Structure formats: structure tokens, C-alpha cells
Amino acid sequence: MRKAGIAVALTGLAAATLTGVFARDHILAVDLAAQKASEAATAARIVERPVPPPPPLPEVSRRIRPVVPDVVAAPPVGEGGLERVDPRDPLGPLGRARSLSEGPPKETILYRPTTAGAGRFEAQGYSVRLEGVQPTDVGENCTTPEGLSWPCGIHARTAFRNWLRGRALNCVVPPVPGQAEHVTGCTLGKEDAAEWLVSHGWVRAEPNGSYVEAEEVARKARLGLFGPAPITSRQSGD
């Protein structure tokens, strides 16, 4: 009878133990299912938002760094920076160097020149001074070795005018005349106008120029400015 009671007790204890185990497993399964349901609900509430792109980096401006700002100031540069442009065309044929393939510069025929003095003239809107000489001013007076003063500037202009006689000169000048005086060489036919004036003594050559020797010859021959006063000047001075 006692053994039967012990067996019943052990059987009850085993049943209780199994019941506890099953209950614990059931609770764990319920908790796991609830956790998964909660995670699924949370994931459903999450909305994917696009990530905005990063802001652009500031553009580095390559400005000129002044080396000596107190002496040389940097030129103003706009926000757009510097822009390389093509070089402009020259203002005239005298404003640029010529290549060998282009040959010598082209001459322009200047009609009806008006002499403003020995070595200077005007024609077709151009004001020209002959290159390589020192023009003789109209108001210049010369003195002979005998001490006689005479208006050599007027006589020099008259000699230049008589030599030209209104004939056209060939000169290298820009296509369009300007207000400035053009210093250039001119020819009358095949004769150099500046050389004619220097060799006849009516103008002086530029120092170290092409006509220095021609001036020395005129001085030795006492021609033009370096010679005696013309007869008309001597008669007017008596």
C-alpha cells in the first residue's frame, strides 16, 4: 500500500513537471510571435526618405596674387575670372612687324602736296614729316660768315615747293589719315625727297641717320642753309 502511494506521488510529480515545461514553452512561443509581430509593424511604419545630395564645393577663384601690393596693384578681376580673347587687328600698316613673305610695305600716292616747310607737307588729309631729317622751320633765320642775317626758313620752303611743283609723292602711310603727324619716307619718282633736301642744304640730317654724309657734303659746298644769303635777301637787307 505504501509502494502504491509512492508511485502515485511520483506519477503526479512527473505530470506536474511536464505540465510546467509545456506551459513555459508555450509562453516562450507566444512571446516570440508577439516580438515578430511588433517588429513587422515597426518595419511597416518606416518610410524610406531620399538622402539629399551633398552641397557643391565652393569654386576656387584663381585670382592674381600681388607680389608687391604697395608698388604694383593687381588688376580688377570679375566674378567670371579671366577670359582669353584673340588679338585685335593693327590700326594700320605701320603698327605691326611685316614678315619677309609680305615684301616691302606698299606706298600710297599723295596728290597735290602743300609744303608747310622744308621737310613737311600736307596732302589728302595727311600731315607728313620726312623721315631722317630735321625740318627747317619757316621762321628760321640764318647768319652768313659776314654777319648777314637772312630768312633761310622761307627760302628753304620755297626751294622745296619749287622742286615738287605740285607733283604727287609716294609715301608709306596708314590707310586712313589721322590727326597725328606721320613720320615716313617719300619719293618723287625714283628720287628720295629727304635726300634731295639734305644734299641741297635746305634741311639738316638726323644725328646718326642715313643722310649725315649728304649734309657734310652740303656744308662743305656751302649750299642752302650753310651758304651765302640769296641775292634777294641781300638786296632787301641793304
Domain count along the chain: 1
Say if residue 102's pLDDT is above 80: no
- Round to whole Å and give the CA distance between 185 and 175: 16
**Range(s) of the domain holding residue 157:** 102-237
With respect to residue 39, please indicate whether it lies within any of the assigned structural domains.
no
Q: Average the pLDDT over 177-185 and give the result.
A: 91
Decide if 125 is inside a domain.
yes
- Report the C-alpha gap between 9 and 63 in whole angstroms: 100
Residue 128 located in a structural domain: yes
Domain assignment present for 170? yes
In a domain, 84, yes or no: no
On the question of pLDDT at 19 being above 90, the answer is no
pLDDT in tens, 167-178: 999 999 998 888
Query: SS3 breakdown of the chain: % helix, strand, coil, rounded to 5?
Result: 35, 15, 45
| pLDDT, tens only, 128-162 | 999 999 999 999 999 987 888 999 999 999 999 99
Backbone angles phi, psi at 149, to 5 degrees: -95, 135
**Residue 109 maps to a domain:** yes
What pLDDT, on a 0 to 100 scale, did the predictor assign at position 93?
Answer: 47
**Mean pLDDT computed over every residue of the chain:** 77
Question: DSSP string covering 3-57, please?
Answer: HHHHHHHHHHHHHHHHHHHHHHHHHHHHHHHHHHHHHHHHHHH----PPPPPPPP
The pLDDT, as a whole number, for residue 142 is 94
Query: 211: domain CATH number?
Result: 2.40.50.90
Longest Cα–Cα distance of the chain, Å, equals 190
Residue 164 domain-assigned (yes or no): yes
Residue 59 lies in a domain: no
Give the pLDDT mean for 194-209. Answer: 96
* Cα–Cα dist 231/132, whole Å: 30
In single-letter form, the type of residue at position 75 comes to P
Question: What per-residue confidence (pLDDT) applies to 238?
Answer: 42
| Cell reading at 202 | 635746305
